[in-house]
Amino acid sequence: MQQALTAICDPTRRAALSLVWDGGEHCVCELMARLDASQSRMSRHMKVLREAGLVLDRRDAQWVRYRRNPDLAPELAAVIDAVLAAAGNVQEACA
Protein backbone atom coordinates (compact mmCIF):
# COMPACT_ATOMS: atom_id res chain seq x y z
CA MET A 1 0.00 0.00 0.00
CA GLN A 2 2.80 2.43 0.87
CA GLN A 3 4.46 2.02 -2.54
CA ALA A 4 1.16 2.76 -4.29
CA LEU A 5 0.53 5.86 -2.18
CA THR A 6 4.06 7.10 -2.83
CA ALA A 7 3.57 6.49 -6.56
CA ILE A 8 0.46 8.68 -6.75
CA CYS A 9 2.01 11.61 -4.84
CA ASP A 10 3.38 13.04 -8.08
CA PRO A 11 0.88 15.15 -10.09
CA THR A 12 2.05 13.77 -13.45
CA ARG A 13 1.70 10.17 -12.28
CA ARG A 14 -1.74 10.95 -10.85
CA ALA A 15 -2.80 12.48 -14.18
CA ALA A 16 -1.45 9.48 -16.11
CA LEU A 17 -3.19 7.09 -13.75
CA SER A 18 -6.41 9.02 -14.21
CA LEU A 19 -6.15 8.48 -17.97
CA VAL A 20 -5.54 4.73 -17.75
CA TRP A 21 -8.05 4.24 -14.94
CA ASP A 22 -10.89 4.20 -17.50
CA GLY A 23 -10.11 0.55 -18.21
CA GLY A 24 -8.74 1.16 -21.69
CA GLU A 25 -5.24 0.70 -22.96
CA HIS A 26 -3.12 3.78 -23.61
CA CYS A 27 0.23 4.04 -25.38
CA VAL A 28 3.06 6.19 -24.10
CA CYS A 29 2.67 8.46 -27.14
CA GLU A 30 -0.91 9.26 -26.11
CA LEU A 31 0.07 9.90 -22.50
CA MET A 32 2.95 12.12 -23.66
CA ALA A 33 0.65 14.23 -25.83
CA ARG A 34 -2.13 14.57 -23.26
CA LEU A 35 0.22 15.38 -20.38
CA ASP A 36 2.77 17.41 -22.36
CA ALA A 37 5.66 15.22 -21.21
CA SER A 38 8.75 13.89 -22.97
CA GLN A 39 9.00 10.19 -23.79
CA SER A 40 11.73 9.56 -21.23
CA ARG A 41 9.87 11.44 -18.49
CA MET A 42 6.59 9.65 -19.23
CA SER A 43 8.30 6.25 -19.32
CA ARG A 44 9.92 6.90 -15.93
CA HIS A 45 6.59 7.89 -14.40
CA MET A 46 4.85 4.85 -15.83
CA LYS A 47 7.62 2.61 -14.53
CA VAL A 48 6.91 3.86 -11.00
CA LEU A 49 3.20 3.15 -11.42
CA ARG A 50 3.96 -0.31 -12.85
CA GLU A 51 6.37 -1.17 -10.02
CA ALA A 52 3.70 -0.10 -7.51
CA GLY A 53 1.36 -2.62 -9.16
CA LEU A 54 -1.18 -0.01 -10.27
CA VAL A 55 -0.79 -0.52 -14.02
CA LEU A 56 0.25 -3.29 -16.38
CA ASP A 57 2.24 -2.80 -19.56
CA ARG A 58 2.31 -4.53 -22.92
CA ARG A 59 4.82 -4.02 -25.69
CA ASP A 60 3.28 -3.39 -29.10
CA ALA A 61 6.06 -3.08 -31.72
CA GLN A 62 7.96 0.06 -30.72
CA TRP A 63 5.28 1.29 -28.30
CA VAL A 64 4.42 0.30 -24.76
CA ARG A 65 0.76 0.33 -23.83
CA TYR A 66 -0.49 0.68 -20.28
CA ARG A 67 -3.74 -0.27 -18.60
CA ARG A 68 -5.20 -0.44 -15.13
CA ASN A 69 -4.19 -3.55 -13.21
CA PRO A 70 -7.41 -5.62 -13.06
CA ASP A 71 -6.02 -7.70 -10.19
CA LEU A 72 -5.60 -4.73 -7.87
CA ALA A 73 -6.97 -5.37 -4.38
CA PRO A 74 -10.46 -3.85 -4.09
CA GLU A 75 -9.41 -1.84 -1.04
CA LEU A 76 -6.50 -0.26 -2.90
CA ALA A 77 -8.65 0.37 -5.98
CA ALA A 78 -11.13 2.20 -3.72
CA VAL A 79 -8.34 4.38 -2.33
CA ILE A 80 -7.13 5.20 -5.86
CA ASP A 81 -10.71 5.97 -6.94
CA ALA A 82 -11.08 8.38 -4.01
CA VAL A 83 -7.73 10.10 -4.66
CA LEU A 84 -8.48 10.54 -8.36
CA ALA A 85 -11.98 11.85 -7.62
CA ALA A 86 -10.61 14.32 -5.05
CA ALA A 87 -7.88 15.47 -7.45
CA GLY A 88 -10.49 15.99 -10.18
CA ASN A 89 -12.66 18.04 -7.82
CA VAL A 90 -9.70 20.27 -6.89
CA GLN A 91 -8.86 20.85 -10.56
CA GLU A 92 -12.50 21.75 -11.33
CA ALA A 93 -12.62 24.20 -8.43
CA CYS A 94 -9.43 25.89 -9.60
CA ALA A 95 -10.56 26.22 -13.23
Say whether pLDDT at 93 is over 60.
no
The neighbouring-strand residues paired with 65 are 27, 58
Return the pLDDT at 87: 80
User: What is the pLDDT at residue 1?
Assistant: 81
In this prediction the pTM is 0.88
CATH code at position 65? 1.10.10.10
pLDDT tens track for 42-74: 999 999 999 999 999 999 888 899 999 999 999
Question: Which contiguous run of DSSP H or E holds residue 8?
Answer: none
CA distance 50 to 72: 12
Question: Comparing 73 with 94, which gets the higher pLDDT?
Answer: 73
Supply the pLDDT for residue 89: 53
Q: What average pLDDT does the structure give for the chain?
A: 89
Neighbours of 16 (CB within 10 A): 27
Longest dimension (CA), the chain: 40
Q: How many residues does the chain have?
A: 95
Q: Domain span at residue 22?
A: 2-94
How many distinct structural domains can be found in the chain? 1
